[in-house]
A and B are shown apart, each in its own frame.
Chain A
Amino acid sequence: EAQVTQNPRYLITVTGKKLTVTCSQNMNHEYMSWYRQDPGLGLRQIYYSMNVEVTDKGDVPEGYKVSRKEKRNFPLILESPSPNQTSLYFCASSLSGVHGYTFGSGTRLTVV
């Protein structure tokens, strides 16, 4: 089944403790992207990647890192999480930037 898989689905962590949210797609898509969704602020793009080793900032990249070492994987790294990074995170992939994205099921992160 064609899908984008994110892990974990839920995560509670403490301020400053490094964490990684994994994302994997099985559709051989070139483009992958991370978003966060917050009440009243909508869905905002954090980072995107157009291919292996090619990434660029979205609208809210501060406090996040990404890497694209393999086509199928695009992990999101929070080196030193803070409470304002408490949010619902989505990973998504697309054949190309102009086509529709397939979203993962989301990761609800709470930083205390």
Chain B
Amino acid sequence: EDKVVQSPLSLVVHEGDTVTLNCSYEVTNFRSLLWYKQEKKAPTFLFMLTSSGIEKKSGRLSSILDKKELFSILNITATQTGDSAIYLCAPPTGGTSYGKLTFGQGTILTVHP
């Protein structure tokens, strides 16, 4: 059975801090890992990772994948109150179709001014 575990479940920081969110997975036929940010509405896509060791970057957010150790991290530097959200990771699975998407529980990030 596919398994996705995120940690920590909850994180409270102050503006300017740097945070690291973790996502570990156990899936068959791994192809990619997806990161999402969810504020008070629908999840929005952040990154797709397919290769180990190659950092994806978007502004203050970056993410990297370790396919050998089966985990990914999402880093946010110089956090702002607008970064407060639930961060979700999910590796597509489902045989060769890769249509099945099992999300982790999410990390609730709260950034105080």
Chain A interface residues (CB < 8 Å from chain B): 31, 33, 42-45, 48-50, 56, 58-59, 90, 96-106
Chain B residue with minimal CB distance to A104? Answer: B42
Contacts of B1-43 to chain A: CB distance below 8 A: 31-32, 34, 36, 41-43
Q: How far is the CB of A70 from chain B (nearest CB, A)?
A: 18
- CA A85 – CA B51 in complex, angstroms? 38
Mark contacts of B85-108 with chain A using CB atoms, 8 A cut-off: 1 yes-contact digit, 0 otherwise. Answer: 000100010100111111111100
Interchain CB contact under 8 A, A90 and B43: yes
Chain A residue with minimal CB distance to B43? Answer: A103
- Asked whether A100 and B98 contact (CB < 8 A) given A43-B43, A44-B103, the answer is no
Interchain CB contact under 8 A, A42 and B104: yes
Cβ–Cβ < 8 Å partners of B45 in chain A: 100-102
Cβ–Cβ < 8 Å partners of A45 in chain B: 100-103
Tally B residues with Cβ within 8 Å of A.
Answer: 24
Interchain CB contact under 8 A, B99 and A50: yes
Q: How far is the CB of A68 from chain B (nearest CB, A)?
A: 11
Q: How far is the CB of B101 from chain A (nearest CB, A)?
A: 5
Q: Does B111 contact A (CB under 8 A)?
A: no
Chain B residue with minimal CB distance to A55? Answer: B99
- CA A105 – CA B36 in complex, angstroms? 15
Q: Does B44 contact A (CB under 8 A)?
A: yes
Interchain CB contact under 8 A, A48 and B43: no
Q: Does B48 contact A (CB under 8 A)?
A: yes
Interchain CB contact under 8 A, B44 and A103: yes
**A-B pairs with beta carbons under 8 Å apart, 25 shown:** A31-B99, A42-B88, A42-B104, A42-B105, A43-B43, A43-B103, A44-B103, A45-B100, A45-B102, A49-B99, A50-B99, A56-B94, A56-B99, A58-B100, A58-B101, A59-B100, A97-B92, A97-B94, A97-B98, A98-B31, A98-B32, A99-B32, A100-B45, A101-B34, A106-B41
